[in-house]
Amino acid sequence: MNAAWLPLTALATSLLAAVTIFALPEDARRLRTTVNLVAAVFKIVLVALMVRRVAAGHEDIFSFQVIGGVDFVLRTDALGVMFAGLSSLLWLCTTVYAIGYLENSANRKRFFGFFSLCVASTLGIALADNLFTFLIFYEMLTLSTYPLVVHRGTEKALNAGRIYLRYTLSAGVVLLLGAVLLYSLTGDQSFSSEEGLGDYLNDHRGLLTLIFALLVGGLAVKAAMVPLHGWLPRAMVAPAPVSALLHAVAVVKAGAFGILRVVYDLFGVELSVELGVITVLAVAASFTIIYGSLRAIAQEELKPRLAFSTISQVSYVILGIGLFGPFGTVGALAHLLHQGLMKVTLFFCAGNYAEELGIHRIDEMDGAGKRMPLTSIAFTIGAFGMIGLPPVAGFITKWYLGVGAIQAEMYWVVGVLVASSTLNAMYFLPIVHRLWFRLGPSHGKGGWPEEQRLGRLETHGWLLWPMVFTAMASLGAGLFAGLPFSPLDWAARVANGEYLP
Amino acid sequence: MIWRFGLFDHTFEPLALTHWALLAALGLPLLLGLLAVVFPLKRAWPIVLASVPVLASGLVLLFAYDQAGLLRWQWEIAGVHLSLRLNGLSVLLLLMTQVIGVAAALYTPGYLRLSETGSLARWLWPLMGVVLSALSLIWLATDLLTLYAALELMGLAAVGMLMLSGKVPALVAGMRYLLLALVGSLTYLLGVALILGHWGRLDLQGLADVIEPGPVAWFAAALIGAGLALKAALFPLHAWLTPVHESAWTPVSALHAALVIKASLFMLLQLWSILLPDTFYAPRVIAWLGMLAIVWGGLLAWRTDSLKTLVASSTVAQLGYLMVAFPLLLGPDIAPLPRALAWEGFWLQLMGHAFAKAAMFMAAGNLILATGESTLKGLAGTSRRLSLSLLVFGIASITLMGLPPSAGFTAKWMLLQAMIITEQWWAVAALLTGTLLTAAYVFRMFRYSFDETAPRHRYQPLAPGMDLIALTLALIAFALGLLAHFPLELMHGGSP
């Protein structure tokens, strides 16, 4: 039975939420919060339903014809549902966080409206079943993030927005060209079709390589692969929830997810290997991983350091694709989820330090563990996960990637992994050390830059609990990786679908 | 090619009801406009009431076409055969004219009240009526003389509307427009005279049968082409466009940019497909000019400091997209698939642009009215208070940028596909560059509006509905993107 309403309703939920929020007056705070939370929870329910149906072997399809030969198609499949699940779960957390974070600031209606639009776009990206549909939501994501990047309306924010658009819109044009070239060559290609593009290999080798380069090149901008990463550190001027969900998760993941789709579902692994583009991808990813980590070490402020860490970490997903084996794929897919959870946690922590204590620079963090223990514990969990220490989720990913590299006999990748973990430790462990082992203002030494007492606990409850939840989830995803429906289990299911006919 | 314009024989006799619908579609706007002089309009509800029969006539014609295919009416008056035809394209353009016309009319009372326009305002209504009636006639006419009469009527009424604001710059720009429009009509008329002298007939369908390629056809096509290009503000004959819009009233600008210049373009394509069906160079010249138009119009809009100039210059660039498609529509040896794609993309782009540009002019007018400033800098900080106007501007500009899911995007997709199949890489590059240039000037405007450090102004409140009308138009342009199948399906029907 085809439940076409399911993907459509899931998409409509956030779209409707956006429209409702735009229609409400600016000062209807309570109502807006209710709409936000109800929509977020309802969407999680719908996505959970999708997960169950996909697990039971159903694939729900909603489609209609746009023009001759081009359809708009939404389909729930294992890979898409995985990304949908990530975005809707983190949407709830981040919405709660954002409500607390933006309390008493201006333009909240605009913020939450475009925020909902962004989430609707990520859901559309997850469920899109062909390149045309994917492109629609991918561009929608670009446009709806712009008002969030420039939200503060300062000179710096406006400049960051301009840079962001320069990168993403140019990338969109490249992507559009690749997509139209592909359609002119092959017609409408569903991501679910088994055939792939192998038939065109003999006659159109050069064109296929060009299309691959255009598509992946366009997507790599959002995935922030070096040298197309310039927008990401600058976009950190946005409010913390935007950095947390969008720049650490939704936007960069949309790029990485797109590359997954192109490699696995459009070209197919075998064809990609045949074209010789996979190795290029792996090398580019490795370069990005090392470069991002090196730049992160050089940063003196917390958010830019996290931003460069994102650049480095997202490329693990690409690296996993480059290993073209089941273990590499599992590692890549699991990292899509794991990195999302851990990075959101870290950005929430960074936001909390900034809001409660006014901390922006790393050398101001001495002894903050005593003043904000929960935040600091969460930060430590996230940092350990990024380094890849067990039992946090990041360890699982690195383990699978390492095994995949050995199986593929790409030993240099193991070297990259080791080097990157060392670099990760070099930029995260000093922070953890400062948090717990240095004496700071809470030990009576100096003072915090700008301390506010936002809540009874260490900070405002709305800011605290989402962070605690995502930290627990990062830990849980590692500890209970063997259970059904864990990120790893689901990633293995997707990988099985790709490698076993 | 000419069958796409519905120029073929059809024996089916239209139903009596469609005669009335036709009469209403052609005559009612004019009649209602004249009525409005006698009974001055202060409110919107008489317009709502008046728009019902107008829109109904369009819908009746739509259904009649849906049922019977091509409709053709013929009369013989004093020995002269007159005929009108309605195919899928004409229905679409007619409906577009009526919807945008009604929207502009609904927008007008609030605008006039807020901008204190003086006593000339009542003359806006009959002029608007003339423009709408003439436009409807242009979509339906099948002979060169009717087309000329309608074009002339529309042009003069448009000049009148644009000059109504009575300010000195408006009068200067309007006089210049009048002069150029007359030159354009005369050139067109010379071409028509040449055709009449050589082939002795003026009906399009008959001409399509007898015209042979040769110096006469080329010369006539060149005259007609130059005249119409001048009226359509095709690059490089666009210089009159921005000054005219700079000082015109908002609803007038909306009508003019959305519909009036499109009529000349429609005629140009239709007549050239009769006069020059297989010429290689003429469409390519247009396409090269179109590429320059995209870049030049984009640069003009990017560098300007005035909001209205920005919107008007963007029209020049958007017309460039249409010009670039010419070699895919006219010329020898075009494969059927790219030609069909380009044909549909062309009209979708034209319709998307019409709705979006009307919406954008209204949004810009609202912003100018509310802030009292007409420069981009004057918009600083408006995002706090005028969010709806900005949202409309944004939605409209998505269509202009050609980003999904708007009509502009779907049209661009089809044009790109046609260009790739025929390997016209320069055109592909022009289209993609156009996207980035449009984004550059649109977001330049948004950059000002998002500035939070600007001082707070007092804003004049807008009349109710002014934003909503613009929003509706912008959303139609948006919806045409994903729902493009329905209008395009209409254009498929009725082939011989």
Task: State the Cα–Cα distance between residues A25 and A317, nearest whole angstrom.
Answer: 42
The closest alpha carbon to A403, from A486, A460, A499, A326, belongs to A326
Task: State the Cα–Cα distance between residues B294 and B432, nearest whole angstrom.
Answer: 10
Higher pLDDT, B156 or A445: B156
Q: Is B277 helix (H, G, I), strand (E, B) or coil?
A: coil
Q: Nearest by CB to A165, which of B412, B421, B443?
A: B443
Apex CA A112: angle with CA A97 and CA A307, to 5°? 55
Residue to substitute from B393, B450, B468, B486, interface A, most A β-carbons within 10 A: B450
A157 contacts A48 by C-beta, under 8 angstroms = no
* Total of domains in chain A: 1
pLDDT at A500: 58
* Percent of chain A surpassing pLDDT 70: 99
pLDDT at A478: 85
Residue A195 has pLDDT above 80, yes or no: no
- Beta-carbon contacts of B371 under 8 Å, excluding residues fewer than 6 positions away, are B378, B379, B382, B386, B457, B459, B460
Tokens describing residue A487: 């990120």
In order along its 496 residues, chain B shows pLDDT tens digits of 778 888 877 767 777 888 889 999 999 999 998 888 888 777 778 888 888 999 999 999 999 888 888 888 888 887 778 888 888 899 999 999 999 999 999 998 888 888 877 777 888 899 999 999 999 999 999 989 899 999 999 999 999 998 888 788 888 988 999 999 999 999 999 999 999 999 888 888 888 888 888 889 999 999 999 999 999 988 888 888 888 888 889 999 999 999 999 999 999 999 999 998 888 889 999 999 999 999 999 999 999 999 999 999 999 999 999 999 999 998 888 888 899 899 999 999 999 999 999 999 999 999 998 888 888 888 887 877 778 889 999 999 999 998 888 999 999 999 999 999 999 999 999 999 999 999 999 999 988 888 877 777 778 888 878 899 999 999 999 999 989 888 888 887 555 4
Query: Beta-carbon neighbour count of residue B489 at 10 Å?
Result: 15
pLDDT at B11: 66
The closest alpha carbon to A495, from A217, A82, A123, belongs to A82
The closest alpha carbon to B289, from B245, B330, B251, B235, belongs to B235
Q: What is the DSSP letter of B237?
A: S
Return the sign of the alpha-carbon dihedral for residues A276, A278, A279, A285.
Answer: positive
Contact yes or no for B485 and A65 at CB 8 A? yes
Task: State the Cα–Cα distance between residues A162 and A397, nearest whole angstrom.
Answer: 35
Contact yes or no for A158 and B391 at CB 8 A? no
pLDDT at A1: 66
Q: Which helix (H) or strand (E) holds B72?
A: strand B71-77
- Beta-carbon contacts of B46 under 8 Å, excluding residues fewer than 6 positions away, are B39
Q: In chain A, what residues touch B421 (CB-CB under 8 Å)?
A: 184
pLDDT at A469: 92
Contact yes or no for B417 and A143 at CB 8 A? no
B451 interfacial to chain A (CB closer than 8 Å): yes
pLDDT at A278: 87
Please state, in angstroms and as integers, the Cα–Cα distance from residue B57 to each residue in A484, B31, B139, B402, following that order: 62, 14, 15, 32
Query: Beta-carbon neighbour count of residue B396 at 10 Å?
Result: 33
Contact yes or no for B439 and A165 at CB 8 A? yes
* Percent of chain A surpassing pLDDT 90: 42
Residue A382 lies in a domain: yes
pLDDT at B496: 47
Residue A134 lies in a domain: no
From the DSSP assignment, how many helices (H) and strands (E) are in chain A?
A: 20, 2
Residue A282 lies in a domain: no
Contact yes or no for A162 and B452 at CB 8 A? no
Q: Nearest by CB to A154, which of B383, B453, B482?
A: B453
Alpha-carbon distance A369 to nearest alpha carbon in chain B (angstroms): 35
Q: In chain B, what residues touch A68 (CB-CB under 8 Å)?
A: 488
Contact yes or no for B432 and A176 at CB 8 A? yes
A164 contacts A231 by C-beta, under 8 angstroms = yes
Query: Beta-carbon neighbour count of residue B342 at 10 Å?
Result: 24
Pairing verdict, β A61-67 and A70-75: antiparallel
Q: In chain A, what residues touch B416 (CB-CB under 8 Å)?
A: 176-177, 180
Residue A247 lies in a domain: no
Domain that holds residue A415: 299-501
Tokens describing residue A225: 């692969």
Task: State the Cα–Cα distance between residues B381 and B448, nearest whole angstrom.
Answer: 7
Q: Which helix (H) or strand (E) holds A356?
A: none
Burial class (CB in 10 A: 0-12, 13-18, 19+), A9: middle
Q: Nearest by CB to B452, which of A152, A161, A165?
A: A152
A224 contacts A163 by C-beta, under 8 angstroms = no
Pairing verdict, β A70-75 and B80-86: unpaired
Tokens describing residue B412: 């661009």
Q: Which residue has the tokens 């024996």?
A: B11
pLDDT in tens, A71-95: 999 999 888 999 999 988 998 999 9
Q: Is B76 helix (H, G, I), strand (E, B) or coil?
A: strand
B488 interfacial to chain A (CB closer than 8 Å): yes
Higher pLDDT, B360 or A198: B360
B433 contacts B295 by C-beta, under 8 angstroms = yes
Task: State the Cα–Cα distance between residues B256 and B261, nearest whole angstrom.
Answer: 7
Helices of type H across A358-410: 368-371, 373-387, 393-407
Chain B, window 335-354: residues with a beta carbon less than 8 angstroms from a chain A beta carbon: 344
Burial A320-355 (b: 16+ CB within 10 A, else e): bbbbbbbbbbbbbbbbbbbbbbbbbbbbbbbbbbbb
C-alpha Rg value of chain B to the nearest Å: 22
Residue A366 lies in a domain: yes
Apex CA A98: angle with CA A93 and CA A103, to 5°? 140
- Global pTM reads 0.94
Alpha-carbon distance A174 to nearest alpha carbon in chain B (angstroms): 9
pLDDT in tens, A140-151: 999 999 999 988
Residue A434 lies in a domain: yes
For chain A, the average pLDDT equals 88
B43 interfacial to chain A (CB closer than 8 Å): no
pLDDT at A501: 46
Contact yes or no for A177 and B410 at CB 8 A? no
Whether ipTM > 0.85 holds is yes
